[in-house]
Each structure stands twice: as C-alpha cells, then as structure tokens.
Amino acid sequence: GAVVSQHPSRVICKSGTSVKIECRSLDFQATTMFWYRQFPKQSLMLMATSNEGSKATYEQGVEKDKFLINHASLTLSTLTVTSAHPEDSSFYICSAQGPYRSTDTQYFGPGTRLTVL
Amino acid sequence: GESVGLHLPTLSVQEGDNSIINCAYSNSASDYFIWYKQESGKGPQFIIDIRSNMDKRQGQRVTVLLNKTVKHLSLQIAATQPGDSAVYFCAEITKDTGNQFYFGTGTSLTVIP
C-alpha cells in the first residue's frame, strides 16, 4: 500500500507557541490530503480537507485561523497549530488520497502526538 | 450529517477463535466502504475495502460482508491472533458528500492468549 509519513511523531511545547506538523505522501501523488484529530479511545474527527494548490475546507467548529493548513505540492501538506493551548493536546493524523481518482482509499500517516504544557 | 456506527464498542475473543466486528451505516447512497485497524499510538492501517456492487470480499484471514438491505457491514477475522488486538474502524464514502470519509466510533478488539 501507499506510504504516508508525518513529522514530528511527538512534540511537547509551551502554551502560546505554534507547532507545525508535516504530512508527506512518499510514493504517490496525493491530490487530496485530510487532517484528523483523535482523542483517547475516540474515533477520528475530520478537521479539514486539503487540495493541492487551493484553500483547505474546514469542518464546522474548526477554527481556520488556529489550524492553518497548507498544501503546497502533491506530496506535502502542513498543519500549523497556532498559539497552542493545553486543550489542543491531541493525536493529529493526516491521510492522503490518490493516486488515480478521488474515490481512492485514504492512506494514513502514523500520527503526531501533541502535548501542550 | 450521515452516521456510521458500530454495534459493539469492545470485543474480547480467545486466540484462535474467529472475530466478527459489525458496523451500521445510515446513508443508503454510500458506495464504498473500508475497514481500518488502529493499534495504540499509531495511525489507522487499511485492511480491506468493498464497493457497493459487491456483498462479500475476502483477504488474507479477513472477510468483509456488505448487506445493503439493512445497511450493515461486518469484518470477520479468522483464527484471531494476539497481533489482531487493536481498534477497528469502518468508514463509508459517498460521491454525494464530495467523497468524504465518515468513520464509525470504533470497536476495540482484545485477543486473549
């Protein structure tokens, strides 16, 4: 299957700082990338859908100014958590969809554990 | 929005037994379904998928059954092994929702050695 990587895998930061998480599709071109958030023992919550070269589409209740998403190329999307606070602590997972048509399977990254002190 | 849910939040099985994990969906227009496995601290891993024009699909030790009449999806794992212990999610995708994926709440499978 396709390979998706995330970096960093784990980050601890102070309240008020910004954190950038990278998502890369390593062996295919991802026309669409998704960002999810997951709390312990809960399902994935879609935050936003990111298409290469265009603005991300955010789900209801997700602050676009707080969670900045950039999808600059077909293999890279970034999520920046701005002015992070303890309530932003979570497991963030990206996925990439492709390579041939929009109904292709989403392949997930390994996740990034964010802890805000 | 449409919902995809799982009947059983937790499931414990004896090693070597077969496991069945169920999922109900509510959008009759759903045309693509996927089962994912998520181990603790890791991202979901694709297991098997099925399209709405099929009612059964088999993989290695896993079988997915789709019953469109009652909008039900199941994942069967044969000869369950300790390495199968994880949370299993079903996901549905429909063209009329812009190909978005909707995930169920997940079932935690524990395999007892």
pLDDT band at A18 (very low <50, low <70, confident <90, very high): very high
> CB-CB: which of A41, A105, A110 is closest to B43?
A110
Contact by Cβ (8 Å): B105, B87: no
Indicate if the pLDDT at residue B46 is higher than 60: yes
Give the lowest-confidence range in A51-60, A105-114, B2-11: B2-11
CB of B112 within 8 A of CB of B12?
A: yes
Given a cut of 80, whether residue B100 has pLDDT beyond it is no
CA dist B99 and A1 (Å) reads 20
Subunit contact A111:B100, Cβ cutoff 8 A: no
Report which of residues A105 and A56 the model is more confident about: A56
More confident residue, B99 or A42: A42
> Which residue, among B84, B88, B87, B90, has the nearest Cα to B104 in the 3D structure?
B90
Joined together, the tokens standing for residue B4 give 């995809």
Q: Is the pLDDT of residue B4 over 60?
A: no
Mean of per-residue pLDDT scores for chain A: 90
Q: Does A6 touch chain B if contact means CB atoms closer than 8 Å? A: yes
Q: What is the pLDDT of residue B105?
A: 78
Section A50-74 average pLDDT: 90
Contacts of A95 in chain B (CB under 8 A): 43-44
Q: For residue B62, what pLDDT band results from cuts at 50, 70 and 90?
A: very high
The reported pLDDT for the residue numbered A89 is: 96
CB B72 within 8 A of CB B26: no
Q: Does the structure show a pLDDT above 50 at B3?
A: no
pLDDT of amino acid A100: 59
Chain A residue whose CA is closest to B95: A103
Q: How far is A14 from chain B (nearest CA, A)?
A: 22
- What pLDDT score was predicted for residue A29? 86
Kindly state whether A1 is in contact with chain B, defined as any CB-CB distance less than 8 angstroms. Answer: yes
Q: Grade residue A99 by pLDDT with cuts at 50, 70 and 90.
A: low
Mean pLDDT over residues B61-65, rounded?
97
The DSSP secondary structure of chain B, one letter per residue, reads: ---EE-S-SEEEEETTS-EEEEEEE--TT--EEEEEEE-TTS--EEEEEEETT-SEEE-SSEEEEEETTTTEEEEEESS--GGG-EEEEEEEE-GGGTT-EEE---EEEEEE-
- pLDDT given for residue B97 in this prediction: 64
Give the residue on A whose Cα is nearest the Cα of B47: A1
- pLDDT given for residue B2 in this prediction: 39
Q: Do B43 and A6 touch (CB under 8 A)?
A: yes
CB atoms B106 and A105 under 8 Å = no
- Which residue in B99, B108, B110 has the most chain A C-beta atoms within 10 A of its own C-beta, making it the best mutation to test that interface? B99
Q: What is the pLDDT of residue A72?
A: 82
Percent of chain B with pLDDT over 90: 67
pLDDT at A106 over 90: no
| pLDDT score, position B9 | 84
pLDDT at B89: 92
